[in-house]
């Protein structure tokens, strides 16, 4: 059955919409536009189930039919979004992948301030300081999702959680986990302004993580991949644990 809305057809690489979506692979353009790009039916379905629907849905003319894709397309149209149909070659240019998955979406970024978090909504939260690798960031989001954590708080200069690489590595968890970004000087007063135990993953005067005296809500803090946590950051923690 044909959809009751009209798909916009794009056949040219020089189309302004193609250039716009492709530009979202770069941080400066994402920040300017307040948009992010995600690819793949599974990832977009996770977003939809978490209540986030793309403002723009891009479909390959050679996509495989799937009921989840049909549901996603209908929800985008119902929300007033745009559904675009284009060739696999153009979709590959948009996503930067030689074998695109047949569907991509443009989403509006959301509030990542500390004030948007409800610390009482979960017993554990993950906190990362100066995390630089988008793949590691995605892994932390997936880990939090598996643990039932409330979300991930990024401290200081971390990788962009809305980069194509981080979104892809999260395998949808960027949509299911709460996400916040802050400087350390702002995070500490926020944390101390309510209930919360700050626990550092550390080797300095740390106790084994098994059997440690945790208290909810627990904020588990990890440091940079190569340098770990600054000593003054660890000093602020209520507990230090080691593997």
Q: What is the pLDDT of residues 67-108, one digit of tens each?
A: 999 999 999 999 999 999 999 999 999 998 877 789 999 999
Cα–Cα nearest to 42, from 147, 157, 176? 176
Which two tokens mark 82? 């745009």
Q: Give helix 41-49 / helix 67-78 axis angle, nearest 10°.
A: 50
Residue 207 neighbours by CB distance under 10 Å: 13
Q: How confident is the model at residue 136 (pLDDT cuts 50, 70, 90)?
A: very high
What is the pLDDT, as a whole number, of residue 205?
84
88-95 and 16-23 helices, crossing angle to 10°: 40
pLDDT above 70 as % of the chain:
98
CA atoms within 13 A on the CB side of 78: 8
pTM for this predicted structure: 0.92
**Mean pLDDT value across residues 41-70:** 94
Bridge partners, 8 (sequence order): 84
Tell me, what's the pLDDT at 3? 61
CB 128 within 8 Å of CB 182: no
CB 66 within 8 A of CB 92: no
CA dist 62 and 95 (Å) reads: 16
**Phi and psi of 51, rounded to 5°?**
90, 10
Which residues lie closer than 8 Å to 28 by C-beta, 6 or more apart? none
Distances (CA, A) of 107 to 13, 136, 152, 190: 21, 22, 19, 28
Q: Is it the case that residue 60 has pLDDT exceeding 60?
A: yes
Nearest to 128 by CA among 140, 115, 138: 140
Sign of torsion, CA 135 137 138 143?
Answer: positive
Does position 4 have pLDDT exceeding 80, yes or no? no
Mean pLDDT score of the chain, rounded to an integer?
A: 94
- pLDDT tens digits, residue range 102-125? 999 999 999 999 999 999 999 999
Q: Are 57 and 103 in contact (CB under 8 A)?
A: yes
Of the pLDDT bands very low, low, confident and very high (cuts 50, 70, 90), residue 20 is very high
CA distance between the termini of the chain? 56
Cβ 112 vs Cβ 137: under 8 Å: no
Non-local CB neighbours of 72 within 8 Å, separated by 6+ positions: 41, 44, 45, 48, 53, 57, 103
Distance in angstroms (rounded) separating the CA atoms of residues 139 and 155: 16
pLDDT at residue 2 tops 60: no
């Amino acid at each position: 059955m044909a959809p009751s809305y009209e798909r916009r057809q794009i056949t040219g690489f020089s189309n302004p919409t193609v250039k716009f979506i492709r530009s979202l692979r770069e941080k400066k353009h994402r920040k300017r536009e307040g948009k992010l790009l995600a690819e793949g039916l599974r990832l977009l379905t996770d977003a939809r189930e978490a209540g986030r629907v793309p403002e723009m849905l891009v479909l390959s003319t050679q996509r495989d039919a799937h009921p989840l894709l049909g549901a996603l397309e209908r929800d985008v149209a119902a929300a007033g979004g745009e559904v675009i149909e284009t060739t696999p070659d153009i979709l590959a240019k948009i996503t930067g992948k030689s074998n695109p998955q047949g569907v991509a979406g443009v989403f509006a970024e959301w509030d990542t301030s500390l004030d948007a978090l409800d610390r009482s909504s979960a017993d554990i939260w993950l906190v990362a300081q100066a995390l630089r690798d988008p793949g590691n960031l995605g892994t932390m989001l997936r880990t939090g999702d598996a643990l039932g954590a409330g979300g991930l708080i990024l401290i200081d200069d971390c990788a962009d959680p809305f980069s194509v690489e981080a979104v892809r590595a999260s395998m949808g968890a960027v949509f299911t986990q709460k996400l916040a970004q802050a400087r350390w000087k702002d995070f500490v007063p926020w944390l101390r302004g309510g209930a919360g135990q700050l626990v550092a993953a550390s080797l300095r005067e740390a106790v084994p993580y098994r059997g440690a005296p945790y208290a909810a809500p627990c904020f588990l803090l990890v440091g940079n991949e190569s340098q770990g946590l600054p000593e003054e950051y660890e000093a602020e923690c209520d507990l230090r644990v080691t593997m």
